Amino acid sequence: MAENNLRVLLTGSAGFIGFHTASQLLQQGATVLGVDNFSDYYDVDLKEQRNNILENHPQFRVARVSIEDAGAVRDVWRDFAPDVVIHLAAQAGVRYSIDHPESYIGTNLIGTYNLLELARHHPVRHFLAASTSSVYGANRDMPFDERQRTQTPISLYAATKGATELMGHSYSHLYNIPMTFFRFFTVYGPWGRPDMALFKFAKAILADEPIDVYNNGEMVRDFTYVDDLAASIIRLSAAVPGNVPVEGDSLSPVAPFRVVNIGGGKPTPLMDYIGALEQALGKSANKNMLPMQQGDVPATEASPELLRRLTGEIPTTSVTEGVAAFVSWFRDHYRG
């Protein structure tokens, strides 16, 4: 629960996860400054629609600047004087990183560096930033635990997110900045990105087009419903890293810094996920079975225990419930 009058600077506010996180913060009484450049990586109109909903709230405003523009983001940070920063802006997508590596270096590395510099010169209570389960890379020891090594990324996207964790740790150590990086596990739900599997699957099934199913469907994911994720981020904002670790902590021995998985620890086979979508749509999919894609992994599973110890709760929405909620939104939004 966010405290009343908490001032939160949230990057990526017009994005999928940023929109849901900002919405919950506003509902809980926080004042939110969104920072977003409305990039054209996917449909900008979808981002504008999300932003329009947020702007209906009197305690929200948006700064249309890029985190790669150090001067612009410095000005909005100083004017707003945040208590907490939640950094969600990123160039996302494993496969896109193979063909467009430069955008990942710019947004994920340079943009994060600019924000870390601001946290150095304009201190905040807590700096939180998004990482990804993709940092576990070639690791096959599941469930993924925050204390495991993450030095084997298999995509540039994962490599840049792992690098931001390391950058964050160094700034946390050097300048005593309380910092939490959270690792997402296959987030889905209403207002999702059009490049995400669930969105593409639903669109194709309703249009009687085949869906591409990689690794012949032999994949498992720890799916996380977006409202659960946003609630976990907000709870973590109050769990400021200090000097006293909890059991099984990833707390650094030399900095007020930790990494935390945000996942429910309930992996679901991809074919069951597709089955839940078929059930919600009332229509079967024509499946185009394909080999594994470059940069992808066959399975993910989060250990949720550190999140539970820090916040008292973990994501619990079932895939059946979450997919049904997505389909309800999708049909209403696209009149499908």
Tens digits of residue pLDDT in 58-72: 999 999 999 999 999
Backbone angles phi, psi at 329, to 5 degrees: -65, -45
Which residues, listed in sequence order, are joined to residue 287 by a DSSP beta bridge? Answer: 211
Domain contains 287: no
Would you state the pLDDT for residue 298?
A: 85
Domain contains 197: no
What CATH number corresponds to the domain at position 95? Answer: 3.40.50.720
Tens digits of residue pLDDT in 286-315: 999 999 887 778 889 999 999 999 999 999
Cβ count within 10 A of residue 299 = 16
Tens digits of residue pLDDT in 143-164: 999 999 998 988 888 999 999 9
Amino acid type, 118: L
With beta carbons less than 8 A apart as the criterion, state whether 16 and 93 touch. no
Domain contains 277: no
Tens digits of residue pLDDT in 170-203: 999 999 999 999 999 999 999 999 989 999 999 9
Statement: residue 98 has pLDDT above 80? no
From 41, 42, 96, 157, the catalytic residue: 157
Token digits for 213? Answer: 């199913």
Would you state the pLDDT for residue 282?
A: 96
Domain contains 260: yes
Predicted TM-score (pTM) of the model is 0.95
Would you state the pLDDT for residue 95?
A: 67
Confidence band (pLDDT; 50, 70, 90) for 76? very high
- Give the DSSP per-residue string, 95-159: THHHH-HHHHIIIIIIIHHHHHHHHHHS--SEEEEEEEGGGGTT---SSB-TTS-----SSHHHH
- Domain of residue 125: give its range: 7-188+224-265+301-316
Please state, in angstroms and rounded to a whole number, the distance separating the CA atoms of residues 40 and 38. Answer: 7
Which stretch, 93-97, 212-216, 248-252, 286-290, has highest mean pLDDT? 248-252
First and final C-alpha spacing in the chain:
35
Within 8 A by CB and 6+ apart from 38, the residues are: 14, 44, 47, 48, 51, 64
Would you state the pLDDT for residue 94?
A: 64
Catalytic site residue 188? no
Q: Give, in order, the Cα–Cα distances in Å from 212 to each of 155, 202, 266, 324.
A: 20, 12, 24, 21
Would you state the pLDDT for residue 292?
A: 87
* 3 state DSSP class of 242: coil
Tens digits of residue pLDDT in 9-26: 999 999 999 999 999 999
Would you state the pLDDT for residue 38?
A: 96
Statement: residue 261 has pLDDT above 60? yes
Number of domains in the chain: 1
Statement: residue 336 has pLDDT above 60? no
Would you state the pLDDT for residue 258?
A: 98
Would you state the pLDDT for residue 102?
A: 82
Domain contains 172: yes
* 3 state DSSP class of 87: strand
Domain contains 294: no
Token digits for 86? Answer: 């939640």
Would you state the pLDDT for residue 176?
A: 98
Would you state the pLDDT for residue 271?
A: 96
Would you state the pLDDT for residue 1?
A: 66
Average pLDDT over residues 67-92: 95
Average pLDDT over residues 321-327: 98
Domain contains 286: no
Q: Give, in order, the Cα–Cα distances in Å from 236 to each of 34, 159, 174, 258, 321.
A: 19, 24, 22, 11, 24
Which residues, listed in sequence order, are joined to residue 85 by a DSSP beta bridge? Answer: 9, 127
Domain contains 271: no
